[in-house]
Amino acid sequence: MGNIISTNNTPTTNEQDSVYNEKQAHFDDLADSQRLLQNLKLRTSTAEASETVKIDSCKSWENALLEDPKNRLAVDAFSKSDITNTLSSRSARIADHNIFNLVASNVEDITSQDSSGRCWLFATTNLLRNDIKKQLNLSDFQLSQSYLSFWDRIEKSNQYLEHSIELADEPIGSRTVDYINSGPIGDGGQFDMAVNLVNKYGVVPQSVYPESYNSSNSGKINSLLTTKLREGALELRKLSKSASQVSPTSADRIVRRRKNELLEEIYGAAVIAFGPPPSANEEFTFEYKDKNDKVHSITTTPLGFANKYLSNFRINDWYSLINDPRNEYSKLYTVDKLQNVVGGRPVLYVNTTADRLVDAVVTHLKNGKPVFFGCDVGKFSERNGGLLDPKLFDYELAFNLKLGLTKAERLATGESSMTHAMAINAAHIVDGKVQRFRIENSWGKSAGQDGYYICTVDWFKEFVYQVVVNRQIAPKDLTTIFDKPEDAHVLPCYDP
């Protein structure tokens, strides 16, 4: 996650094969085949069976289209206005009230990731800061997202160079090598990767390591570091092959010595771009004023701060549930080479139904716990109104296009993927049924309704793929599956 930045005018509306047979099972299902054949029988088009585009056919189609006055009106309307602004449903906007009767937390200090893809770190720190605010009696407080992002960038650089050594004998042009080379240190990440960073480096308040221009606008520095890393990867591949002529121990020492020299260069460039960060065990002083205007001062280290003020949150007790209908439910999954910290906690998911994700969120909210979740935020999304609702835009009425892909089919064809992470902190429930959720986003107060978004439960089931749950609260039949990470099914690195 993390390819959606907060300063886009409009989040994008668009954003493989697997080694497991179950990933493609839905295409082979008899019911799907019968559905397709039935649709073909119902069509009444007189189109020719032709390999090429026929000019006469196009003109005929156009004439038939414009016989309908509705289509002529649509041509005039869409020729001078944005599609989504024109189609935005008044009835949907009225129905999606900003009213919630189950509230886990209220946040006024909405965060902004600016022109960066750090949503997963903002979603994580937005959860973590709630306990800290209570303990320190603070009204406004943010943890430094830039601090975690700095170390994530260094860890990803090391991981990428390690992958380059590991894959030295695999040809450039292979799907795995090409995928690894496509984005060595992008801003995106997963909740488990955030856990790795907190465990290794701790956390600091934002005032201790504030945002810099390049942390908020990461595109150019990421591009520069990526270029250097790719150059280093090619060098390590060649060095690995030439060093194979000596003993394995000597070869390993030669290659990794050069890797660390490259890492030193990357670290130096990062320090220049973002500023020197505190080390995990380096003391800092945090001065603050509480709600009663009383001034306090805390001297500690990043790890010390995390150990003291995040002890109630227990970050290692949180795990990811996903809804991926391509794959078998109640099974553990991981993704090949999806990691930031070498030797860190693996990225793991337990697959379950969308209904169980909804239930898990509600259970956490009832326990006063906001929830980290991952979704495809650009689908049926209205930025200005902060609405996520599949009823927002009637594309069939406007364009005569019936969109019928299932959630599994959208994933399999690349039509949808997990692009953004946010936090759910409230729900509205009527007669025992969830109607909508309130979302704390990280695109600043100018996006949505003072920084908040509202998603209907129907949108949640179609476009939410992940929720992070606490082991003590989530269903035991799901959380116990995490106890055997060695049994995880490994999806390819290019899996969406």
Residues that are catalytic: 119, 420, 441
Residue 112 near residue 106, CB atoms below 8 Å: no
- Torsional class of 81: left (φ above 0), alpha (ψ -120 to 50), beta (otherwise): beta
Residue 254 near residue 181, CB atoms below 8 Å: no
Q: Hey, what are 187's tokens? A: 């801003």
The secondary structure of 296-341, three-state, reads EEEEECHHHHHHHHCCCCCHHHEEEEECCCCCCCCCEEEECCCCCC
| Residues 43, 34: Cα–Cα separation, whole Å | 15
Lookup result for tokens 């509230």: 103
Q: What is the dihedral of CA 5, 112, 379, 322, to 10 degrees?
A: 100
Would the CA dihedral through 403, 408, 412, 415 be positive or negative? Answer: positive
| Residues 377, 416: Cα–Cα separation, whole Å | 10
Distances (CA, A) of 398 to 62, 234, 381, 385, 393: 15, 51, 17, 21, 9
Residue 451 near residue 441, CB atoms below 8 Å: yes
Please name the residue ranges forming H helices in 244-283. Answer: 248-274
Amino acid in position 191: F
Distances (CA, A) of 206 to 142, 277, 287, 288: 6, 12, 11, 11
| Residues 478, 456: Cα–Cα separation, whole Å | 25
Tell me how crowded residue 95 is: count the other CB atoms within 10 A of its CB.
Answer: 14
230 burial class (0-12, 13-18, 19+ CB within 10 angstroms)? middle
| Residues 372, 128: Cα–Cα separation, whole Å | 11
CA 54 to chain centre: 43
| Residues 84, 88: Cα–Cα separation, whole Å | 6
What's the number of CA atoms in the CB half-sphere (13 Å) around residue 356? 21
| Residues 366, 373: Cα–Cα separation, whole Å | 17
Amino acid in position 163: H
Distances (CA, A) of 322 to 350, 426, 442, 464, 469: 6, 20, 22, 8, 10
